């Protein structure tokens, strides 16, 4: 496993975090989480809204039975639309911590933005949970670069705790339209330039583009099985002529590195010139083991740019 250090965290965080939005019950989740720790990984991505709180409760049951909270890096998210309001941050985080049987979230991230609310109000509410000792690291998800920079600058000017993390989609296949309302991609030249210059930490969701780099027959079969809750297959939101070229280039490099194209796509996210982590969503241990192959791939700067069509 590879790790990063984030200011405010007492322990290093694994560069891969496991997303817990797809774990409905303890019996199926526990073996996957046990194996996750065995790989050396320690990061768990959660949200107040996942399965109406069930995902957090199941994780909390596992943490209580294993008594391993101190070994984990817990990412908590809250203030999702329509509850994206400053007064919901503390209120929901307290509920989330109770559900997960933790006394502190290692990282707290706002799940959405609300353009009707001044950034200063959100920064004040985020600083409140820092001052209360509920977390030491704060960030936002699905925020535009303009709002992120504005909020962080306001915090600096006001002697407040600034934004530590941006948590947008970052995948080699550029998101062509939002998976859900308010979703934003970070695979944008201006965003990538800012992250490189500022060295802000980025945590990517849907880091493997919902399976866009899998074999075509696998993608089509998976899309047949989507339900109303998760109508988010890769072809609906990631397919484009440019992304097909990215996929072809990933296939070419996969031969060189003796891995699969989706491993190259994940390695692209982790190989950025700024602190970059990725959330993955394995539903079984075999999927975890397959995803971990991206950790052994050291892409060159030229390969990173070539994959993203920045050079020919």
Torsion, CA 266, CA 268, CA 269, CA 275, rounded to 10: 130
In this structure, what CATH number is given to the domain that contains residue 75? 3.20.20.100
- Whether 312 maps to a domain, the answer reads no
Q: Domain span at residue 266? A: 3-307
- Whether 40 maps to a domain, the answer reads yes
Q: Give the predicted TM-score (pTM) of the model.
A: 0.92
**pLDDT tens for residues 118-162?**
999 999 999 999 999 999 999 999 999 999 999 999 999 999 999
What CA–CA distances, in Å, run from 228 to 93, 143, 149, 223?
28, 26, 35, 11
* pLDDT of amino acid 214: 86
**pLDDT tens for residues 208-227?**
998 899 876 554 555 555 44
How far is residue 39's CA from residue 170's CA, in Å, rounded to a whole number? Answer: 24
* pLDDT of amino acid 221: 52
DSSP 3-state of 74: strand
- Whether 208 maps to a domain, the answer reads yes
- Whether 267 maps to a domain, the answer reads yes
**pLDDT tens for residues 50-63?**
999 999 999 999 99
Is the per-residue pLDDT at 170 higher than 80? yes
Helices assigned H by DSSP within the chain = 26-38, 54-66, 86-100, 119-131, 145-157, 189-198, 216-224, 234-237, 241-257, 261-270, 285-291, 301-307
Torsion, CA 192, CA 219, CA 205, CA 26, rounded to 10: -160
- Whether 121 maps to a domain, the answer reads yes
How far is residue 58's CA from residue 191's CA, in Å, rounded to a whole number? Answer: 35
**pLDDT tens for residues 7-41?**
999 899 999 999 998 887 999 999 999 999 999 99
Looking only at the bridges linking them, the beta strands covering 3-4 and 13-14 are antiparallel
- Whether 293 maps to a domain, the answer reads yes
* pLDDT of amino acid 228: 41
At residue 308 the predicted structure's pLDDT band, cuts being 50, 70 and 90, is very high
Count the domains in the chain: 1
């Amino acid at each position: 496993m590879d790790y990063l250090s984030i200011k405010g965290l007492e322990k290093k965080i694994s560069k891969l975090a496991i997303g817990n939005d797809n774990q409905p019950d303890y019996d199926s989740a526990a073996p996957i989480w046990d194996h996750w720790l065995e790989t050396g990984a320690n990061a768990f991505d959660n949200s107040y809204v996942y399965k109406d709180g069930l995902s957090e409760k199941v994780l909390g049951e596992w943490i209580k039975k294993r008594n391993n909270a101190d070994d984990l890096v817990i990412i908590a998210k809250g203030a999702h639309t329509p509850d994206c309001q400053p007064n919901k941050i503390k209120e929901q985080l307290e509920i989330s911590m109770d559900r997960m049987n933790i006394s502190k979230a290692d990282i707290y991230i706002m799940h959405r933005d609300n353009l009707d609310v001044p950034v200063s109000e959100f920064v004040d509410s985020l600083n409140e949970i820092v001052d209360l000792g509920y977390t030491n690291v704060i960030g936002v998800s699905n925020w535009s670069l303009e709002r992120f920079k504005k909020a962080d600058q306001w915090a600096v000017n006001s002697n407040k705790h600034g934004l530590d993390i941006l948590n947008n989609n970052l995948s080699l296949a550029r998101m062509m339209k939002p998976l859900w309302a308010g979703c934003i991609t970070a695979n944008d030249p201006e965003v990538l330039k800012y992250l490189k210059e500022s060295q802000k930490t980025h945590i990517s969701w849907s880091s493997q583009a919902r399976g866009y780099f899998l074999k075509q027959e696998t993608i089509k079969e998976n899309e047949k099985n989507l339900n109303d809750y998760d109508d988010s297959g890769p072809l609906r939101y990631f397919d484009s002529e440019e992304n097909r070229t990215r996929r072809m280039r990933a296939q070419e490099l996969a031969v060189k590195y003796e891995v699969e194209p989706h491993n190259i796509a994940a390695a692209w996210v982790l190989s950025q010139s700024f602190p970059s982590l990725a959330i993955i969503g394995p539903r079984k241990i075999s999927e975890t083991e397959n995803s971990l192959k991206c950790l052994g791939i050291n892409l060159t700067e030229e390969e990173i740019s070539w994959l993203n069509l920045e050079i020919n």
